[in-house]
Structures are given as structure tokens and as C-alpha cells.
Amino acid sequence: MEAGLPAERLTRSAPAVPVGIVHLGLGAFFRAHGAVYIEEAMSASGGDWGILGVSLQSATMRDQLTPQGGTYMALELGPEGETLRHVQSVQGVLVAREDAQAVLEAMADPGVRIVSLTVTEKGYCHEPSTGRLNDQHPDIVHDLSHPLPVSAPGYLVRALALRLSRGLPPFTVLTCDNLPNNGHVVRGVVLDLAHAIDPALAAWIEAEGKFPSTMVDRIVPATKPEDIARVEALIGAHDAAPVMHEPFRQWVVEDDFVGGLRPDLGAAGVQLVRDVTEFEHMKLRMLNGTHSSLAYLGYLSGHETIADCMTDPVLDRFVQHLWAAEIIPALTPPEGVSLSEYAQALRARYANPGIRHRTWQIAMDGSQKLPQRILGTLETNLAANRPCPGLMLAVAAWMIYVRGTDLAGQPIEVKDPLAPRLREAATSADPVGALLALREVFPQDLAARLSEPLRKACSDLSALGAKDAMQARL
């Protein structure tokens, strides 16, 4: 490449692979996690498991990846250096908003045996506090009366209906989002929607469908323009959509697939288990729960990233307190796993200076995340009469964050599907009471038990500031 000339575009170097998996929500996390595992499984044992990505709304990913043949670079950011990988398991990308029928036809293709998802918690159009379908969600209201859907559950149901009408078996629905009992949740949402559309379809899905639960783990920060420039300098070609990730990865999957058909995931290091629940709770509460706690309290303390938080002695001690005193006592460890060792491994991962995971990014969509990341632990501790002042402070920090101004009165750009309602509640005469009244987030019986400690925590944050309020709980 001559100086001053634009770099050539990254291109595919491996042969295309027939599509066996359609993935809804082709964001950075899946491309740095599931797509890499699936590529390694095919390298180890073969099989037609190429991935067709689907962007439900934006055309950006399609426009970035199509000129590259669906391929991209994954840059591992370790404490002691970087490692590049050219990922080629994605064969192409469709944009659902542009051609819903093409997406449905792809999902109904006989060669497709798995439809996987990373659509974030809010993409399931469910009530986080109950796990049930929110039939008042605008996308679900649309999908109930239109054959061409807009929601992820709508695509699953309409594509399964096509397969039933054509005499094909259902595909396995493999959710990869951070939801407790995520396979059970997506199964319930799909059955609720299918039953409202066609009870016979719902009965077929209930009898023949498979919805294995999973636990996924890898820290994948958002790709920034400087990351794209760095990858270009490393490879001498332009990659419009590289992904950055930490060295650690884990994928635990219940081995329950339609017809037993799946890639050889075990050959790639996936843990195939009968029941993922204990792994799921461990990760959601220990990693995601402390990630969210650090996001709100770290942001209010003036820290941009999780790594920055871990250089602050108060936040470092606070997160260790959360693990030791409030989270681990509320968990049953998976067989053969030391929760204290897992906590120390998380601490090292958080402190990795190569990973610039922004507190503002993790703080997004808190109304969808809190029930499974923090409120479940609070409920367990309250039932056991165990004090949990640290987690109460984390929820209080969220209550302050969603008002749209920090403790110094500076504006915060709050990204959340309930953002207008959260702001209205958080700026009312009784912000704690108004936020606890949101049944999408707080079950009524739990809200009543949280009221007094959250009022105290919010008062401490306002009076002392985030760091002194944390220090007072250590």
C-alpha cells in the first residue's frame, strides 16, 4: 500500500460455507464470541454451519460486512499484548426492515437448523420482572396483526409457521443474551405469541421445538474509530467492522437441539451441560451484577471505564465486598467451581488496561438489566435476612443516573427503552417511590421491601457523594 493511498478492503480468504445458522442481532458480542466458537467447531469437525446474520433494524452491519464477504478481524486485547484473528464464519447479512420476507425465507430454509439471537434483553419484548410476553409492546401489537414481523419473537414465530406449513422440523432457538433461564424465557415468549396467532402452531412448537438455555461470557467493548485505524495499520487493509475482546471466553450450553443437530461445539471448548442454571446465575450475578454496579457508581464517581474504576482503591474494595459479602452467599456454585476464585478472575479481567469498556455503555438499558443482574440477588438475601447495603447503593445509583443528571448536576445521556418514564419518575417529588412503582422493573412484593433501604442509599449518595457512600458500606 503506497503512502497516502486508501487501504484495500479486507476480503474473504477461505471458501464460503453453506448456511446452517441464522443469527438475529449480528452485533459485536456475537461476532467476538459465538461466531468464533462456531468457526472453530467447523475447523475441528466440519459441517455446514455457516452463519447468515440478520440486522433487525439498521443496515450499518450489512453495509460494513458485505464488501468484505462477511469477514472481519477480531483483536484480542490482553494485558501483555494483542492477537489478531480473521473470522470468516459469517457468510452474509440481511436487513430485516428492508426485506422481512427474505429473512423469513432464510429462516425457513431446510438447511438452517439453528436460529441464534443476541438482541439484548429489551429485544425479547417481555416484562423483565415476570419473564412473560408484553403484549402491549408496539412491536408485538404490530406482529399480532401483520404476517411480516418487526420483533425478534415475531420472526421466530412466523418462520416456524412457515416451516410447519412446509412439513419441515422446527429449528433450534439458541438465545445468547444475558437473561436468567434465557432459553425458558424465549420459549415462553414465543409460545405466548404463537398461541395468540394460531393455537395449533403453538402446540407444534411446544411439542417439537427446542430452546436450550445458555451462558455466554466475554467482555467486548464497543469498537471505536481509533480501533478501526489500529487494525488497518496492523493488517494493511481496511476492515470497517473489527471487534475488540478480552482473552477470556466461556460458553455453557444445554445440549438439547432439535434432532441433536448442532456444530461440534465441544471441540471448540463449549461446555455442554444438562442444566445451565447455576452457571447462568453465577455469571449474571457475579459478572453482570458487579458490571452494572460499577457502571452506575463508577460513572457517578467520574470514571469513564471499568478498568479506570479498578484503579480506584474505593471501587476496587467495594466490588470485592459485593462478591464476598453480598453475592457469593446468595449463590449455589456449579459443580467443581470455586466462586471466590471466579471472583478473583473477574477482578483481574476488569483491571485489564487493554479493555476500555465504558461505564456509560454498560449503563444502557438498566430497566431491562437490573431484574436479572441485581434484584434477584437482593431478593435472595432479603429472604435469608442477609444485609446487602452495597447492592442497595448500586440500585440507588441507577435511580439517580436515570434522572438524567449526575450528582454535580451535569447532564447524562440516558439510553433505555423506558427513558422518558424513568426520567419523569426520578425527577418527581418522590423519586424512589415512583421508580419502585414501575412494575416492568420491580415486582410489587420486592418493591415494598426495598423502599426504606433505597431511600437511605439515595440520601447517602446525594449527601456524601458516590465514593464516600461506598466507603461507608465497607
CATH number for position 30: 3.40.50.720
Structural domain of 153: 8-273
Our count of domains for the chain comes to 2
In-domain check, residue 1: no
Say yes or no to pLDDT of 352 above 60.
yes
The CATH number for 420's domain is 1.10.1040.10
pLDDT surpassing 90 at residue 410: yes
Residue 281: is its pLDDT beyond 50?
A: yes
Q: Which residues of 193-205 are buried (b: 16+ CB within 10 A; e: fewer)?
A: bbbebeeebbebb
**Residue 41 sits in the same domain as residue 68:** yes
Query: Do 109 and 243 have their domain in common?
Result: yes
**Residue 339: predicted pLDDT:** 98
Rounded CA gap, 123 and 415, in Å? 14
Look-up of cell digits 421491601: 449
Q: Give the whole-angstrom CA distance, residue 280 versus residue 303.
A: 28
How confident is the model at residue 130, as a pLDDT? 83
81 and 187 assigned to the same domain: yes
**Looking at the structure, do residues 253 and 306 belong to the same domain, yes or no?**
no
Name the average pLDDT for the chain. 96
When pLDDT is cut at 50, 70 and 90, the band that residue 179 belongs to is: confident
**Residue 81, pLDDT score:** 86
Q: How confident is the model at residue 5 (pLDDT cuts 50, 70, 90)?
A: low
27 and 125 co-located in one domain: yes
pLDDT in tens, 357-397: 999 999 999 999 999 999 999 999 999 999 999 999 999 99
pLDDT given for residue 1 in this prediction: 45
> pLDDT class for 141, splitting at 50, 70, 90?
very high
Q: Residue 270: what pLDDT?
A: 98
Task: Specify if 21 maps to a domain.
Answer: yes
Per-residue pLDDT at 180: 85
Highest mean pLDDT among 219-223, 301-305, 352-356 belongs to 301-305
CA distance 259 to 175: 18
Same-domain status, 169 and 298: no
Q: How far from the centroid of its chain's Cα atoms is residue 177's Cα?
A: 4
Confidence of residue 131 (pLDDT cuts 50, 70, 90): confident
SS3 93: strand
Residue 226 lies in a domain: yes
Nearest Cα neighbor of 435 from 424, 411, 363 is 424
Which parts of 198-260 fold into alpha helices (H)? 199-208, 225-235
| Domain stops at, among 256, 273, 290 | 273
Q: How do residues 415-463 score in pLDDT, each as one tens digit?
A: 999 999 999 999 999 999 999 999 999 999 999 999 999 999 999 999 9
pLDDT (0 to 100) of residue 4 = 55
Q: Please say which residue of 273, 304, 334 terminates a domain.
A: 273
**Same domain for 242 and 302:** no
177 vs 25, 262, 283, CA distance in Å?
A: 10, 19, 12
pTM for the full predicted model: 0.87
Percentage, residues of the chain above pLDDT 70: 99
| 82 shares its domain with 176 | yes
Decide if 3 is inside a domain.
Answer: no
DSSP code of 423? H
